[in-house]
Amino acid sequence: MITSLSIKNYALIEKLTINFSKGFSTITGETGAGKSIILGAIGLVLGKRADLTSLKNKEEKCIIEAHFEISKYNLKPFFEAHDLDYENETIIRREILPSGKSRAFINDSPVNLQELQELSLFLIDIHSQQQTQELSDENVQFNIIDAIAANKELVIEYQTLLKTYKSDNTKLNTLLKKQSDSNKEQEYNTFLLNELVIAKLKSGEQETLETDFEQLNNVEIIKESIDKALAIANDEHLGVLNNLKEIKISLQKIAPFAPEYNALLERISSITIEFDDVSEELNRSSEKVMSDPEQLELISQKLQLIFNLQKKHQVKSVDELLVIQNNLENQVLELGNMEEEIAKLTKTIDQKVKSLDSLAVKINKNRLKSIPLLSEKLIAILGTLGMPNVRFKIDLNPSLVYFSNGKDELQFLFSANKGSDFGLLKKVASGGEMSRIMLAVKAILAQYSKLPTLIFDEIDTGVSGEIAIRMGEIMKQMSGEMQIFAITHLPQIAAKGDAHFKVAKSTVGDDTQSELTLLSDENRVIEIAQMLSGTTVSESALNHAKALLN
């Protein structure tokens, strides 16, 4: 439960520290006095977003700090999961800086807003007038039924599974579309791949083939040129090799006479050796050069095949054709893998469907058991709130659709009077009736919820007199299970509180401030008397106030 609230530099509040007790506390004050400011401050502590308009003095930071006694609420796992220090008296602090940035702390450890919001779900439920209207929303109605049905764990398990089921379905649909698109191209891709595979292409092959083709296609001129070169080189009398030898013999005679002659001898010797080697290479080449029309034809056909494939695929090399061949092979392989993946994913989805259906059945059975209990409790409480003839018709129908919380469709129908037809809450219930129904719902949920604190923000809208007294009694009864706050304009409800706080607005010079004060017994009598009769308090109003308090 919340034990204290400290506010500094927020809205109309310059500085405020107030302590709270367990049980039932009421908060009263004139319209515009600042009750919404108190709720806003608590909202910031619970993780709502803030801006610079929250600051009273724009030059100073705003600090809101709340202390919570949480020893009875099994929250240690939450603190361990978020790596936070656990304290039985946990302190949440929110700071809004003049720059507009905000910071949040749990037991002095910095946290983000999401962590703060997650923790707040275990601490306080602030019931606003807007929530009363949301009572006609189907999701809210399901939440009420599931709370009584103890479906929380089942619904969480169902929602987790549903998320993965939807994700798998999306993947499957993507794969099926990809498979459909691939199948259209598969036949053509297979044809292209077969062409390339049959060609048995190799990297660097084209250059080798083109060289061989040039040699075989010009074998006669090559043979003739080599033989002529050999004849010139090796002629017995006029051949180059013979002449080089004669030159070498002449230089050998004069080499001893001068270094330059010796150098020339060495050079001619080197030339002779090199030319002799060239001559031998020409002989070997001459022996290799042979006419082979069949091989020439084979090479010509292979080159033509390569040229045709290059033209078809708009590339200029065999390496590029090999890349295309590899890509086509991957596409064909991918399609085969895709079929396997589709089969595997389909099987997984089928299994999840069975699990979802099983969970949905369990959720449905628990709901069906809880609906008569909910209806019975609502009728009993509302009977004490001036609605003796109220009836509820809660129809739960199984569906084939996987909704976010199961496979049920819900109709929550209501009739306030005998002989009147059932209708949807939002269409047939008045504002006062909706307030009483919501209070009845909260009273019932208090028996099933482990929530420490519940704040009612003017849940008494549209009621008065004896009904207001009954509403106050119900809230008083609820406070035996949890800490209850009621912001109210009705003296009948204000009088039921164990503690009574008043919000008041005052003007000091040019400054307007709001304050929250715990009323003494004497001041409480005066406050309730003023709520009964206005600013001028009569003796009868004081007596009436005392009677309400007693």
Reported as a single tens digit per residue, the pLDDT across 71-98 is 888 899 999 999 999 999 999 999 988 8
Give per-residue pLDDT as tens, 254-281: 888 888 888 988 898 888 888 888 888 8
Token pair in block for residue 132? 């009363």
Per-residue pLDDT for 291 more than 70?
A: no
Is domain 1-135+434-519 given the CATH code 3.40.1280.10 in the classification? no
Mean pLDDT of 430-441: 86
Query: Quick one: pLDDT at residue 253?
Result: 86
Mean pLDDT of 161-177: 91
Asked if 141 contacts 135 with a C-beta cutoff of 8 angstroms, the reply is: yes
pLDDT band at 184; cut points 50, 70, 90: low
Mean pLDDT of 373-401: 91
**Could you tell me the pTM of the whole model?**
0.67
Query: Quick one: pLDDT at residue 494?
Result: 93
Query: Quick one: pLDDT at residue 333?
Result: 67
Query: Quick one: pLDDT at residue 371?
Result: 94
β-pairing, 391-403 vs 406-415, is: antiparallel
pLDDT band at 404; cut points 50, 70, 90: very high
Query: Quick one: pLDDT at residue 372?
Result: 94
Q: What is the 3-state secondary structure (H, E, C) of 190-221?
A: HHHHHHHHHHCCCCCHHHHHHHHHHHHHCHHH
Burial call 179-196: b when 16+ CB within 10 Å, e when fewer: beeeeeeeeebeebbebb
Q: In whole angstroms, give the CA distance from residue 342 to residue 326.
A: 24
Token pair in block for residue 136? 């006609």
Per-residue pLDDT for 191 more than 80?
A: no
Query: Quick one: pLDDT at residue 484?
Result: 93
Query: Quick one: pLDDT at residue 332?
Result: 66
Radius of gyration of the chain (CA): 48
CATH 3.40.50.300: which residues of the chain?
A: 1-135+434-519
Per-residue pLDDT for 192 more than 80?
A: no
Query: Quick one: pLDDT at residue 335?
Result: 64
Per-residue pLDDT for 367 more than 80?
A: yes
Per-residue pLDDT for 70 more than 80?
A: yes
- From edge to edge, which strands make up the β-sheet containing 499-508? 124-127, 453-457, 483-487, 24-28, 499-508, 511-518
Q: What is the 3-state secondary structure (H, E, C) of 484-499?
A: EEEECCCHHHHCCCCE
Which helix (DSSP H) or strand (DSSP E) does residue 501 occupy?
Answer: strand 499-508
Query: Quick one: pLDDT at residue 525?
Result: 93
Per-residue pLDDT for 359 more than 80?
A: yes
Mean pLDDT of the chain, nearest integer? 86
Q: In whole angstroms, give the CA distance from residue 36 to residue 487.
A: 9
Mean pLDDT of 455-466: 82
Most confident segment among 27-31, 165-169, 286-290: 165-169
Q: Which residues contact 525 (CB under 8 A, 6 or more apart)?
A: 542, 545, 546, 549
Helices within 385-482 (DSSP H only): 425-428, 431-446, 465-478
Q: In whole angstroms, give the CA distance from residue 389 to residue 415.
A: 8
Per-residue pLDDT for 305 more than 90?
A: no
Asked if 324 contacts 196 with a C-beta cutoff of 8 angstroms, the reply is: yes
Mean pLDDT of 343-358: 93
Higher pLDDT among residues 35 and 295, named by residue: 35
Q: In whole angstroms, give the CA distance from residue 189 to residue 236.
A: 67
Query: Quick one: pLDDT at residue 537?
Result: 81
Give per-residue pLDDT as tens, 99-149: 888 899 999 999 999 999 999 988 998 887 777 777 888 888 998 999 999
> Nearest to residue 526, comparing CAs of 502, 498, 497?
502
